[in-house]
Structure 1
Amino acid sequence: MSDERAKNANEQYFSASPSSKDVRKQLEITLRDHPVTVETSNGVFSAHRVDLGTSVLLRHAPMPPLEGTFLDLGCGWGAISLALALESPDATVYAVDVNERAIELTRHNAQVNGCGNIHAGTAAEVPESARFDVIWSNPPIRIGKDALHELLMEWLPRLAADGHAYLVVQRNLGSDSLIKWLAENLGEGYDVSKYASSKGYRVIDVHKLA
């Protein structure tokens, strides 16, 4: 990996303010049968395409409710948020990231694609009272196991009763062990299972029992 690519890889996960040059690129893509035009840039996750894991999640996750409160955890430039907002235009979609450039791109992409129901920001900008009917996430596995566990245990308990989180995780990066860990640590009020498998990825379903 080149020094520039390594810097971008680190920034997409850890940096609130990427130091790489903000070079915008326009993509025309389709998200769950919805054609969209988006901008991406350096220093954000999967800047040149829809990441394979995200594609697997979007292909296999079930249709979300028509309305409710949704969360895209680790939104990057907004692919998952846009898919949720276009599938359920009457829902409220929170798009969360630590990366300010990612948040700015998600806000821009929401605006140009007519998704006024997307609210992009940092974790601190999500109301503490918010409970989520749906969480979709391609979580940042490479932040390390401890940090990942802390992140998931911060947000998954905020599922509403009978809510579902769908997480896409690469099989060789520990998806099966994560299923076991989540089941043990979330406890009896949750059902954690493998929902789908494709292209070396698992889609994990975390269901908060009613």
Structure 2
Amino acid sequence: MTGDHYFTTEPASTAPPREVEFTVAGRDYTLASSGGIFSAARLDPGTAVLLRKAELPTARTEGDLLDLGCGYGPIACVLARSAPAATVWAVDVNARARELTAANAARISAADRVRVAAPDGVPAGVTFAEIWSNPPIRVGKDELHQLLLRWLPRLTPEGVAWLVVARHLGGDSLHRWLTEQGWHIARHASQKGYRVLRVTR
């Protein structure tokens, strides 16, 4: 056993190759995955609820979109296929996750529109029309708050962030905290114990 978590920067665990299959908005995906990353064996249930219930971008969507905590890239790949005129930034602290996301973007012929980066690799001037995240609740409340305080202010004035959080892991308390920080929060949907939050200025 190792001490790796999905938020480990450089996983030391072995990485047997896997594939994860899922369908979103009528499109089928088969993405590469491996050990040492978040939900390596399947599409995480929270991510599935987010992609099913939030409002996906469309062919008319332009600008920069952010998949925050991209893992092996399921959200980034869905965004890239849904919004071919947009640029998708896929950000993760985990180097193995970033490698897989880049490979999966190539699998769906979107390597030129998916920019994979560590958090410090996103230029300071980039702002986002949309932020999508199944945030890493298990890093702890303080780190989670710092993560959101870092990235949510990079929404464009009319931008929207879509977050999914399990109710039993603090979905409602996160809703309250974001409201206290001055964000407008709408509980867009609830399903299977998850809250989908729509965050705007």
Q: State the TM-score, normalizing by the size of structure 1.
A: 0.91
The amino acid across from 1:95 in the alignment is A
Whether 1:76 and 2:76 are equivalent positions in the alignment is no
The amino acid across from 2:6 in the alignment is Q
In the alignment, the residues of structure 1 paired with residue 107 and residue 143 of structure 2 have an alpha-carbon distance, to the nearest angstrom, of 34
Structure-to-structure mapping, 1:1-210, within 5 angstroms: 3=1, 7=3, 10-13=4-7, 15-65=8-58, 66-115=61-110, 116-185=112-181, 187=182, 190-208=183-201
SS class of match (1:50): coil
**Deviation per CA, 1:165-189, whole angstroms, max 9, x where unpaired?**
010000011111111101111x2xx
> Which runs of 5 or more residues in structure 2 are unaligned?
none
The answer to whether the Cα contact below 8 Å between 2:65 and 2:129 also exists between their aligned partners in 1 is: yes
In the alignment, the residues of structure 2 paired with residue 98 and residue 118 of structure 1 have an alpha-carbon distance, to the nearest angstrom, of 16
| Structural RMSD (CA) | 1.2
The answer to whether the Cα contact below 8 Å between 1:167 and 1:205 also exists between their aligned partners in 2 is: yes
How far off its partner does 1:26 sit? 2.0
The answer to whether the Cα contact below 8 Å between 1:63 and 1:87 also exists between their aligned partners in 2 is: yes
Aligned length: 198
How far off its partner does 1:202 sit? 0.1
How far off its partner does 1:162 sit? 1.1
The amino acid across from 2:108 in the alignment is N
In the alignment, the residues of structure 2 paired with residue 204 and residue 85 of structure 1 have an alpha-carbon distance, to the nearest angstrom, of 21
How far off its partner does 1:127 sit? 1.1
The amino acid across from 1:75 in the alignment is C
The answer to whether the Cα contact below 8 Å between 1:57 and 1:203 also exists between their aligned partners in 2 is: yes
In the alignment, the residues of structure 2 paired with residue 125 and residue 177 of structure 1 have an alpha-carbon distance, to the nearest angstrom, of 30
How far off its partner does 1:27 sit? 2.8
The amino acid across from 1:54 in the alignment is T
In the alignment, the residues of structure 2 paired with residue 161 and residue 20 of structure 1 have an alpha-carbon distance, to the nearest angstrom, of 42
State the identity as a percent. Answer: 47
In the alignment, the residues of structure 1 paired with residue 185 and residue 29 of structure 2 have an alpha-carbon distance, to the nearest angstrom, of 32
The answer to whether the Cα contact below 8 Å between 1:37 and 1:113 also exists between their aligned partners in 2 is: no
How far off its partner does 1:28 sit? 3.0
SS class of match (1:11): coil
In the alignment, the residues of structure 2 paired with residue 198 and residue 28 of structure 1 have an alpha-carbon distance, to the nearest angstrom, of 21
How far off its partner does 1:11 sit? 2.2
Runs of 4+ that moved beyond 3 A: none
